[in-house]
């Protein structure tokens, strides 16, 4: 009897201990919510000491370190104490008189399930009789996550301020909106920056950033500045020859740190292990414009080789002096087959108005000779021999002689023994087939409208919302009208730009030397271009 009683008690205890929420179910993606602060947000005559900030759920302790910032900066550090669903900040007592202090909690803060705050939080206290109530808000436009840095000017504007730690930081929400609250009257400058660099000193070569169209924002008492718009970009770094690889006895690749166009190489040579120097032919890879195919007129000796470039020119500008990289020329002779690199499978075509598009066909090594009857095209029951355009020794741009016909199946045929590669063997299969399916013809439409904007050189930018976006521009006439014709159907984003420098596109500005960006207004709605329709969007009010 005693044994049965003990067994029942043990079972009861085990059953109670085993109670747990059921497995499965939807993943918790609800961000932690700010509940309250003690002392209350907005408290006056704050003399330092502990501030408790309570959340709706337990916070991940590891996320706190980079999530909290106090503005303006304090000489003495604020101690941070973790308490499950609370964060306690212990302020020093040597605070400035009549000063509003703002605690900003950014989106690095996460709950125990690693769900981040939905947007940054600001909590203000004042050591004096009032809380400063001025604000600056706006939006950073782009596809990534952003933050905004804000500085208050004490002795006028200098561009060096952008390279200091910001006085205030606001992390934008997922739609790019930011808000600085509890600001004192004065003059301010701001900078949009990628979220990963929030609160850090700006390094232009490493961080995407964006300056505003207005240099200084002046705030009065209880004054709000709204709808500040920012766009960010990465500065183009100085051109560098990063590395190279020599694939065979006569050819290889060289790589740069950025895409290039319309450039000229002076003094492009290679010196092999026996000190033999050869001038090289070069061809840009159209699929990766950071790299160039190199071809030597004669076989190189095995071992170490040095490639030299005296200079790289873009028009009249010299982008690079004395570039140099080392190669290893292989000892073995290449006996492998050429491979067809692209396309990998059947290509689906949307016929364009000019009969295009052209489709790239890319080989794995240079082709130095092509015999007659190397290429054929079959469409329906007809097979004809075709000529092709060689973009460079590894790439063909193909389009049927009379353009694509919608809803038609094509086969491009390559006869292997008609191609001679620079080294090794031709294609492994004697006949290679590449298939194309031409779908419904692309439709085209138009878009027109009016803007309520008078200023220097208004410009309308239309960007297609697709993986490889196309960009179209239209000027605005004296009647403030704009018009786009023959635009491919699909969704677009419309932006109005004051094209101050008249270069026909948006100019982002820079931090050093400082140059403000051009003013722009991005239309809040997606515009759908329809085939054979001319859409009039009417008057666009820019709210400038």
3-state SS string for 506-542: CCCCEECCEECCCCEEECCCCEEECCCCEEEEEEECC
- The dihedral of CA 492, 497, 501, 502: what is its sign? positive
Indicate if 115 and 79 belong to the same structural domain: yes
CB atoms within 10 A of CB 108: 19
pLDDT of residue 466: 84
Structural contact between residues 55 and 32, judged by C-beta atoms closer than 8 angstroms: yes
Q: Residue 474's beta-bridge partner residues?
A: 460
CATH number at residue 304: 2.60.40.1220
Q: Report yes or no on 454 lying in a domain.
A: yes
Coil, helix or strand for 5?
helix
Tens digit of each residue's pLDDT (9 = 90 or more) over 237-290: 889 999 999 999 999 999 999 999 989 999 999 999 999 999 999 999 999 999
DSSP state, residue 174: T
pLDDT of residue 51: 93
Nearest to 450 by CA among 472, 480, 473, 478: 480
**Sheet bearing 395-398, strands edge to edge:** 340-342, 359-363, 395-398, 389-392
Coil, helix or strand for 151?
strand
Q: Quote the CA–CA distance of 205 and 240 in Å, as a whole number.
A: 13
Q: Which of 11-20, 91-100, 479-488, 527-536 has the lowest mean pLDDT?
A: 11-20
Nearest to 60 by CA among 109, 99, 103: 109
Q: Report yes or no on 448 lying in a domain.
A: yes
**Among the three residues 329, 359, 384, which one is the final residue of a domain in this structure?**
329
Nearest to 442 by CA among 532, 323, 343, 380: 532
Q: Report yes or no on 536 lying in a domain.
A: yes
Whether the predicted pLDDT of 12 surpasses 50: no
pLDDT of residue 24: 53
pTM: 0.76
Indicate if 371 and 226 belong to the same structural domain: no
pLDDT of residue 13: 43
pLDDT of residue 3: 46
Q: Report yes or no on 11 lying in a domain.
A: no
Q: Residue 35's beta-bridge partner residues?
A: none
* Mean pLDDT for the chain overall: 89
Structural contact between residues 238 and 230, judged by C-beta atoms closer than 8 angstroms: no
Q: Which tokens go with 508?
A: 């982002």
Q: Report yes or no on 6 lying in a domain.
A: no
pLDDT of residue 398: 92
Q: Which residues contact 281 (CB under 8 A, 6 or more apart)?
A: 294, 295, 296, 297
Mean pLDDT of 158-172: 91
Whether the predicted pLDDT of 4 surpasses 70: no
Q: What is the CA radius of gyration of the chain?
A: 32
Q: Which of 24-38, 74-88, 436-450 has the lowest mean pLDDT?
A: 24-38
Nearest to 368 by CA among 341, 336, 392, 342: 392
Whether the predicted pLDDT of 23 surpasses 70: no
Q: Is the bond preceding residue 357 a cis peptide, omega within 30 degrees?
A: yes
Q: Quote the CA–CA distance of 55 and 123 in Å, as a whole number.
A: 13
Indicate if 480 and 388 belong to the same structural domain: no
The structural domain count of the chain equals 4
User: At 544, is the pLDDT very low, low, confident or very high (cuts 50, 70, 90)?
Assistant: low
Q: Report yes or no on 497 lying in a domain.
A: yes
Whether the predicted pLDDT of 118 surpasses 90: no
Whether the predicted pLDDT of 1 surpasses 70: no
Q: Quote the CA–CA distance of 53 and 36 in Å, as a whole number.
A: 6
List the domain range (segments joined by +) for residue 391: 340-438
Nearest to 273 by CA among 301, 252, 245: 301
Q: Residue 136's beta-bridge partner residues?
A: 180, 225
Structural contact between residues 349 and 296, judged by C-beta atoms closer than 8 angstroms: no
Indicate if 247 and 360 belong to the same structural domain: no
Indicate if 351 and 246 belong to the same structural domain: no
CATH number at residue 349: 2.60.40.3710
**Among the three residues 329, 358, 378, which one is the final residue of a domain in this structure?**
329
pLDDT of residue 21: 43
Structural contact between residues 527 and 494, judged by C-beta atoms closer than 8 angstroms: yes
Indicate if 191 and 251 belong to the same structural domain: no
Indicate if 71 and 193 belong to the same structural domain: yes
Which element (helix H / strand E) includes 152? strand 146-152
Compare 97 and 468 and report the one with higher pLDDT. Answer: 97
**Among the three residues 329, 356, 377, which one is the final residue of a domain in this structure?**
329
Indicate if 421 and 469 belong to the same structural domain: no
In this prediction, what percent of the chain has a pLDDT beyond 70? 94
Q: Report yes or no on 16 lying in a domain.
A: no
Nearest to 147 by CA among 109, 176, 122, 104: 176
Tens digit of each residue's pLDDT (9 = 90 or more) over 187-220: 999 999 999 998 899 999 899 999 999 999 999 9
pLDDT of residue 177: 93
Nearest to 251 by CA among 282, 275, 276: 282
Indicate if 354 and 496 belong to the same structural domain: no
Whether the predicted pLDDT of 54 surpasses 80: yes
Q: Quote the CA–CA distance of 140 and 228 in Å, as a whole number.
A: 8
Structural contact between residues 361 and 395, judged by C-beta atoms closer than 8 angstroms: yes
Tens digit of each residue's pLDDT (9 = 90 or more) over 347-378: 999 888 888 899 999 999 999 999 999 999 99
Q: Quote the CA–CA distance of 481 and 476 in Å, as a whole number.
A: 5
The upper half-sphere exposure of residue 372, i.e. CA atoms within 13 Å in the direction of its Cβ, equals: 0
Whether the predicted pLDDT of 422 surpasses 70: yes
Indicate if 289 and 346 belong to the same structural domain: no
Indicate if 45 and 148 belong to the same structural domain: yes
- Taking CA atoms, 86 is separated from 32, 38, 39, 56, 80, in Å, by 11, 11, 13, 9, 11
Nearest to 529 by CA among 491, 497, 498: 491
Indicate if 117 and 206 belong to the same structural domain: yes
Structural contact between residues 268 and 282, judged by C-beta atoms closer than 8 angstroms: yes
SS3 readout for 188-213: EEEEEEEHHHCCCCCCCCCCCEECCC
Dihedral pair phi/psi, residue 22, rounded to 5°? -65, 150
- Taking CA atoms, 196 is separated from 113, 160, 297, 508, 510, in Å, by 21, 21, 48, 20, 20
CATH number at residue 505: 2.60.40.10
pLDDT of residue 176: 93
pLDDT of residue 11: 45
Structural contact between residues 53 and 67, judged by C-beta atoms closer than 8 angstroms: no
Q: Report yes or no on 355 lying in a domain.
A: yes
Nearest to 392 by CA among 316, 261, 482, 293: 293
């Amino acid at each position: 009897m005693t044994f049965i009683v003990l067994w029942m008690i043990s079972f009861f205890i085990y059953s109670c201990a085993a109670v747990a929420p059921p497995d499965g179910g939807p993943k918790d993606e609800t961000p932690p919510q700010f509940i309250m602060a003690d002392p209350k947000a907005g408290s006056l005559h704050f003399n330092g000491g502990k501030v408790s900030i309570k959340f709706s759920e337990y916070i991940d302790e590891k996320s706190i370190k980079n999530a909290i910032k106090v503005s303006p900066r304090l000489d003495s550090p604020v101690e941070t104490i973790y308490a499950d669903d609370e964060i306690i900040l212990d302020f020093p007592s040597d605070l400035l008189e009549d000063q509003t202090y703002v605690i900003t909690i950014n989106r690095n803060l996460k709950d125990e399930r690693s769900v981040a705050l939905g947007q940054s939080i600001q909590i203000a206290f004042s050591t004096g009789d009032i809380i400063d109530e001025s604000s600056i808000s706006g939006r950073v436009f782009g596809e990534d996550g952003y933050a905004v840095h804000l500085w208050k000017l004490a002795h006028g504007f200098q561009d060096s301020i952008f390279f200091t730690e910001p006085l205030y930081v606001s992390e934008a929400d997922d739609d790019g909106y930011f808000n600085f609250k509890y600001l004192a009257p004065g003059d301010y400058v701001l900078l949009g920056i990628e979220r990963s660099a929030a609160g850090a000193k700006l390094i232009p070569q490493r961080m995407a950033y964006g300056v505003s169209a207005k240099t200084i924002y002046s705030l009065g008492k209880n004054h709000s500045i709204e709808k500040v718009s920012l766009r960010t970009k990465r500065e183009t770094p100085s051109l560098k020859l990063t590395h190279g690889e020599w694939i065979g006895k006569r050819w290889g690749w060289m790589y740069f740190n950025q895409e290039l166009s319309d450039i000229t190489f002076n003094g492009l040579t290679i010196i092999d292990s026996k000190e033999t120097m050869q001038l090289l032919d070069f061809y840009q890879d159209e699929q990766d414009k950071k790299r160039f195919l190199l071809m030597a007129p004669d076989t190189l000796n095995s071992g170490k080789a040095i490639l030299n470039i005296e200079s790289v020119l873009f028009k009249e500008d010299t982008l690079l002096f004395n570039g140099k990289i080392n190669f290893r020329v292989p000892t073995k002779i290449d006996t492998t087959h050429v491979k067809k690199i692209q396309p990998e499978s059947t290509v689906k075509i949307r016929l364009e108005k000019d009969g295009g598009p052209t489709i790239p066909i890319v080989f794995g090594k240079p082709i130095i000779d092509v015999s007659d009857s190397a290429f054929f095209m079959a469409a329906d029951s007809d097979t004809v021999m075709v000529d092709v355009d060689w973009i460079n020794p590894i790439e063909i741009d193909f389009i049927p002689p009379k353009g694509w016909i919608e809803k038609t199946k094509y086969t491009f045929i390559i006869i292997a023994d008609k191609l001679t590669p620079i080294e090794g063997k031709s294609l492994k299969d004697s006949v290679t087939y590449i298939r194309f399916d031409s779908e419904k013809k692309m439709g085209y439409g138009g878009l027109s409208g009016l803007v309520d904007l008078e200023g220097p050189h208004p410009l309308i930018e239309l960007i297609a919302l697709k993986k490889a976006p196309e960009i179209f521009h239209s000027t605005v006439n004296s009647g403030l009208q704009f018009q786009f014709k023959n635009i491919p159907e699909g969704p677009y984003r419309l932006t109005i730009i004051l094209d101050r420098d008249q270069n026909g596109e948006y100019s982002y500005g820079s931090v050093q030397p400082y140059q403000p960006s051009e003013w722009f207004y991005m239309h809040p709605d997606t515009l759908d271009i329809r085939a054979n329709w001319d859409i009039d969007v009417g008057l666009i009010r820019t709210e400038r």
